[in-house]
Structure 1
């Protein structure tokens, strides 16, 4: 069975965590037992995921969103106490990789979302080159693209039309990357796909002619952590893994 340090070291190198500026620590966030036989992966280290991992007999949990978010004051109270208490009581390690998992060219959230939609990136854009962009194999319209997203992601999307141009080039960045819309426009996109929308993006779409689609923060970020856990099992003998999806409407 691999040691937790083996997992921490392997993932740190694979995802090149040192090159990213992030608002929370990437890697081992909570130290549990030394040896790890069974790994549960999920999107967010919520109490629901932690409890499901305990029920599944997990020795460790691997997530995209860990315990630490921008603007926290650091006190171990409320929801933070509950999550941390469960992990420590059951001696479970927590590994979390935020921006490094978004950006990885093969296993990352953007790469994995693109693979499920048949999109191939030929350029990167935005802060720390997190965004992906590429030409569509066949031009489509907004109705066709949103139908594809609904089918592949299994949820409704929010679409703001541009000027009705054929969609030949798509830019995408999973999660809460609505702030990358202007960079996507500058990168030559006909449509930008991300997880969330804020008030300004609807105006940018109307004024620039570039369509905007919000397909769900959680829905667009389910795939990187699964690919990462599968790679771990290939590389570290004695490890098993399972994905537990805690549904989130956001």
Structure 2
């Protein structure tokens, strides 16, 4: 049975967290045990996910959205106190990987989205690794991309059309990356996919002629953490299961 800190060290190295400036601490956030035989992965360390993971007898909960964000109140009281108390009561350690999991070239949310949507040659197109892009071998009609996103996310994506042109070059960044729409337009992409939308996105898409798709923050960030959990299960020969707590946002 591998030690908790052995698994965390492996994750920290695999995702190269030391080189990423983030809005929260990456790695182990709550240490409630010493060994791990079963991992549960999920998107956000909500109380519902903690209770579901505890019900499986897991020793380690791996999430994309953990705790201790910049600007967030730090005392372990109220909602956060209840979450942390539930972790310790279950002997369930918790680790979170945010931006390092978004940008990882194989396991990351952006890499997983590109692979699952069938975007050949998917790659980062910005130095920080957050914005990804692909040049499609054939032009894709707008409704064709809507269908792919619907199948990928299990929900109807929000489309803000930037005209009637088909998609030849598509860019994306999972989660709440609507602010990257302008950068995608600057780079000449026909469409941009992310999770969330802002009021300004409507005007930017229309005036800059770039199709904007919001497919859901949660929906676009389910697959990176699953890929990480599966990789750890194979490497350490331990059990892994993913628990999806539905979220319409």
Is the pair's TM-score, using the shorter chain for normalization, greater than 0.5? yes
1:126–1:180 Cα contact (<8 Å) kept:
no
- For the residue of structure 2 that corresponds to 1:129, the secondary structure is coil
Specify the alignment match of 1:101 in structure 2.
101
1:124–1:130 Cα contact (<8 Å) kept:
yes
Once residues 189 and 142 of structure 1 are traced to their aligned partners in structure 2, the CA distance between those partners, rounded to angstroms, is 14
What is the aligned length?
249
2:42–2:49 Cα contact (<8 Å) kept:
yes
With normalisation by structure 1, the TM-score equals: 0.96
Once residues 33 and 105 of structure 1 are traced to their aligned partners in structure 2, the CA distance between those partners, rounded to angstroms, is 31
For 1:1-250, what aligned pairs fall within 5 Å after superposition? Answer: 1-126=1-126, 128-237=128-237, 239-250=238-249
Q: 1:127 to 1:73 in 2, by over 3 A?
A: farther
1:125–1:183 Cα contact (<8 Å) kept:
no
- For the residue of structure 1 that corresponds to 2:106, the secondary structure is coil
Structure 2 unaligned residues grouped into runs of 5+: none
Greater displacement, 70-79 / 45-54: 70-79
Once residues 228 and 73 of structure 2 are traced to their aligned partners in structure 1, the CA distance between those partners, rounded to angstroms, is 30
Runs of 4+ displaced beyond 6 Å: none
Once residues 40 and 185 of structure 1 are traced to their aligned partners in structure 2, the CA distance between those partners, rounded to angstroms, is 38
Once residues 229 and 108 of structure 2 are traced to their aligned partners in structure 1, the CA distance between those partners, rounded to angstroms, is 11
1:69 CA drift (Å)? 2.8
Once residues 80 and 120 of structure 1 are traced to their aligned partners in structure 2, the CA distance between those partners, rounded to angstroms, is 41
1:80-122 deviation line (CA, Å, top 9, x unaligned): 0010000112221101000000000100001011111001345
- Could you say what the CA RMSD is over the residues aligned between the two structures, in angstroms? 1.2
Structure 1 unaligned residues grouped into runs of 5+: none
1:153 CA drift (Å)? 1.5
With normalisation by structure 2, the TM-score equals: 0.97
1:60 CA drift (Å)? 0.7
1:190–1:210 Cα contact (<8 Å) kept:
yes
- For the residue of structure 2 that corresponds to 1:52, the secondary structure is helix
1:71 CA drift (Å)? 2.1
Once residues 147 and 155 of structure 2 are traced to their aligned partners in structure 1, the CA distance between those partners, rounded to angstroms, is 10
Once residues 18 and 125 of structure 1 are traced to their aligned partners in structure 2, the CA distance between those partners, rounded to angstroms, is 22
